[in-house]
Structure 1
Amino acid sequence: MSRNYKFQDQQKPYFISFATVYWIDVFTRTIYKDIFIDSVNYCIKEKGLIVYAWVLMTNHVHMIIGTKKENMQDILRDLKKHTSKTIINAIKENPQESRKEWMLWMFEKAGNKNGNNTHYQFWQQHNQPIELFDNKILDQKLNYLHYNPVKDGFVKEPEDYYYSSAVDYTGSKGLVDVVLIE
């Protein structure tokens, strides 16, 4: 297992980022975003994942996570593996997907370059885990994560972005069962 998948202290929260191969803008369609959200919620319920914050952009994800049971690297591995297979199948079966052949070709191209894959690769392999050992770093990563859609021009205020935990921090309920950072 790559050092990039290791989390040193399972008791601490971590900021992670991961992106699609070649930074392909997959998450422009609701069906693919919903697969990701459903998978995160499954990991919360069944695997003990704790999500403190998250944002799903068109081609990457930022999260602040912890764990109750399983190792974070195992949960993340399973999340990425499941979403990879499920989203690729959804792309294949989506008659409305105008970029189908191109995306599948790119995923296959990435998969062929990686000896760990048998066919397609959807996610880049690294997660860039950063241990959040104090409140200053935690606040910085929380703001960075929530302001990502603002910086990219999708919304004016973080809480207006639907695929993010920013709304949870305003007192409303979002798409993922988030544990708020106090």
Structure 2
Amino acid sequence: MTILSLKNENNGYSVYAYCLMDNHVHLVIDERQDSVSRIMKSINISYAGYFNRKYSRVGHLFQDRFKSEPVEDDRYLLAVIRYIHQNPVKAGIVKHAKNYKWSSYCEYLGENDEQGKIIDRKYILEMFHSDEEKAVKLFAEFMGKQDKNQFLDIEEEEINHSEALKIIHDILKEYQLTPENLKDYNDIMIRNKIVCEIRERTKLSQRKMAKVLNMDKSAINRIVR
């Protein structure tokens, strides 16, 4: 856990969730400045070195290359985090995710200070509520649901990417704006109105909107929630 925390601070990426199991580990990472491959290589080398020194061994530690899958949708992101946190429960190790020490679940609840701050919990909690206490409660309720189709209020299907870009272009054209200068538009109320209209008409995830509009994901979240 120390290695993960230090790498997180030094390598410019965010960890949204983790769960250490007996023979594998789950991580949800926002790569930001680096690639997933480089991030995992750095973590694996550091941990293998620590493990080999501790147990006086040499050679490779991990059997296979890590497996990764991109998460482009907020609904899917929350589903993955829930799946990760429920792993120890499904494996029969504990009856409730909060009873498992080696996951990020309790850190989201603010109950796991002994392992330090590893995850970027603010971005995820703000999907539930702007008030942290209420957000934590809603987060815990969501994490406890077994129905895979329960994903907050993000139920609409996105239109295809090219059509979404055309809609965005048409909306911005009305205000003589482009994706490059929208985030710096001096009329915040108009800017927020535009962002909400884009969200309503395209049904794009907040992550995709942030990428297309060149805006920070947390800013998009504050506007459209």
TM-score tier after normalising by the smaller chain length: 0.5 to 0.7
Partner of 1:126: 65
Q: Which residue is 1:73 aligned to?
A: 37
2:56 matched to 1:56? no
1:152 aligns with 2:116: no
8 Å contact kept, 1:159–1:167: yes
Sequence identity (%): 25
Query: What runs of 5+ residues in structure 2 fail to find an aligned partner?
Result: 128-225
Q: How far 1:170 sits from its partner (Å)?
A: 2.0
Q: How many residues align?
A: 121
TM-score by length of 1: 0.60
Give the corresponding residue for 2:109. 170
Question: SS at the partner of 1:52?
Answer: strand
Question: Which protein is richer in strand relative to its size?
Answer: 1
When the two chains are superposed, the root-mean-square deviation of aligned CA atoms in Å is: 1.8
User: Which TM-score applies when normalising by structure 2?
Assistant: 0.50
Matches within 5 A, 1:74-153: 74-92=38-56, 120-153=59-92
| Structure with a larger share of its residues in helix | 2
Which sections of structure 1, spanning at least 5 residues, go unmatched?
1-36, 93-103, 105-118
Secondary structure at the aligned position of 2:37 is classed as helix
Aligned partners of 2:64 and 2:52: how far apart in 1?
Answer: 16
1:60-89 deviations in whole A, cap 9, x for unaligned? Answer: 100100134333321210110111121022
> Does the CA-based 8 Å contact 2:4-2:118 persist in structure 1?
no
CA distance in 1, matches of 2:51, 2:69: 27
Of structures 1 and 2, the one scoring higher in RCO (CA 8 A, sep 6+) is 1
| 1:158 Cα deviation from its structure 2 partner | 0.6
Runs of 4 or more consecutive aligned structure 1 residues displaced over 6 Å after TM superposition: none
